[in-house]
Structure 1
Amino acid sequence: MAKEIKQDYKQDQLTRVLLFIYLIVLAWIILFKMGVSFSYMEERRINLIPFANGYYSLTETIMNVVIFIPLGLYAGILFRRKTFAWVVLFFFLVSLIVESLQVIIKTGTFDITDLLTNTTGGIIGYLFIWLFEKIASSPLRVQKIMNILASLSTVIIISLLALLKLNMLPVRFQ
């Protein structure tokens, strides 16, 4: 029993570290636009009409969902004792903070569509972990698998972002 508690603690620590790295990368991508200055950054706009602004993009909407799925995966592991409503509120508040900070530090706009899609991404990730734990025999096994996949994904994403920033990929974001 003590060995299992120690394993749980180690896995929780790794999950927290991976969550912290994810949040740093998320901030760099969303808040700091990967260090790239865009022309709209001086404007402070707020869009309160979902999916109806003049610059709506299906691709951007899908990317907003996808980029918040890892938050749901981490929350599914770390907040497994919390209610679903609490976790959804957590996703909403993280998204609200990110959207508000974009306006405050002049790196983007507050968009209600982003708030909805970011929260949806978190919910999808959370439900994936919930379903995986229902199918698997052990929540600890699910966490170990998730931590391995998250570690590999973190290395790949950070490497790709570094290559993108150094203009070493055929894709350009400037």
Structure 2
Amino acid sequence: MKDNNKTKKLTNVLFMIYLIALFWIIIFKFNVRLPSLRNMRNINLIPFSEPLMLNGKIAFGEMIMNVVIFVPLGIYAGILFKRWSTLKKLFLFFLISLICEVLQYILNIGASDITDIINNTLGGLIGLIIYKGIGKAFKNSVKSQKFINIIALTGTILMISILFLLKINKLWIFRMES
């Protein structure tokens, strides 16, 4: 029982770190300070009508990253909100994505886009499916939660290290040319 409480506490801590990182990445675009107003206030309410264009090509990577960044939310929702229906969990993914998009609009950071909300919600759903698959593989919720915590802890340490190196411009792959 004591071991199970430690597992639950670790899951909660990792979930909080994930949420902080999620909002920092989406809302603040890796900045520590609020960026200056850049007149980027834009809303797109037509799904997939205005994909991100880079060098004249559609940046599918941006759309894929919007899915990928929400996969952990689906996994955490599976663990932390077991009693919730799938519909309620989908609403959580939608709501967190909507909050991010509204904050982007209010803070005048980036564009608010319904496509992002759709992709983020899809990412949460994929994470929930992954969680259910892990649960079936282990056939024991405590063991599956411990496995997920090991993966999440490793991923969290890696993510924090990469974000830190990016922030101090020491990751040679992404180093900016001066």
The alignment's TM-score, normalised by the length of structure 1, stands at 0.90
Gaps of 5+ in 1: none
What is the aligned partner in structure 2 of residue 96 from structure 1? 98
Task: Supply the distance in 1 between the matched residues of 2:7 and 2:157 (Cα, whole angstroms).
Answer: 18
Does the 8 Å CA contact 1:40/1:108 hold for their aligned counterparts?
Answer: no
Inter-partner Cα distance in structure 2 for 1:113 and 1:173: 30
Given candidates 7, 25, 28, the residue that maps to 2:24 is 28
The answer to whether the 8 Å contact 1:61/1:114 transfers is: yes
Write the letter of the residue equivalent to 1:94: I
Shift of 1:136: 1.3
Offset, 1:103: 0.5
Alignment-derived partner of residue 140 in structure 1: 142
- The residue type equivalent to 1:111 in the other structure is D
Instruction: Report deviation, 1:39.
Output: 9.1
Q: 1:143 to 1:54 in 2, by over 3 A?
A: closer
CA, structure 1 residues 123+48, in 2 after alignment: closer, same or farther (shift >3 Å)? same
Equivalent position SS for 2:69? helix
**CA distance 1:22–1:173, shift in 2 (3 Å):** farther
Q: Please name the residue that 1:59 is paired with.
A: 61
- Measure, in 1, the Cα distance between the counterparts of 2:80 and 2:109: 30
Instruction: Specify every segment of 5 or more residues in structure 2 that has no aligned partner in the other structure, as ranges.
Output: 54-58
- 1:49 correspondence with 2:46: yes
Q: Distance in 2 between matches of 1:129 and 1:123?
A: 10
Whole-angstrom distance in 2 between the partners of 1:53 and 1:125: 26
Segments of 4+ moved more than 3 angstroms: 36-41
C-alpha RMSD of the superposition: 2.1
Q: Does 1:85 align with 2:94?
A: no
SS at match of 1:42: coil
**C-alpha displacement at 1:23, in angstroms?**
0.8
How many percent of aligned residue pairs carry the same amino acid?
A: 47
Give the corresponding residue for 2:120: 118
Which structure has more helix as a fraction of its residues?
1
Q: Secondary structure at the match of 1:157?
A: helix
Alpha-carbon deviation of 1:27? 1.2
**8 Å contact from structure 1 (residues 136, 142) kept in 2:** yes
Choose 125-134 or 163-172, whichever is displaced more: 163-172
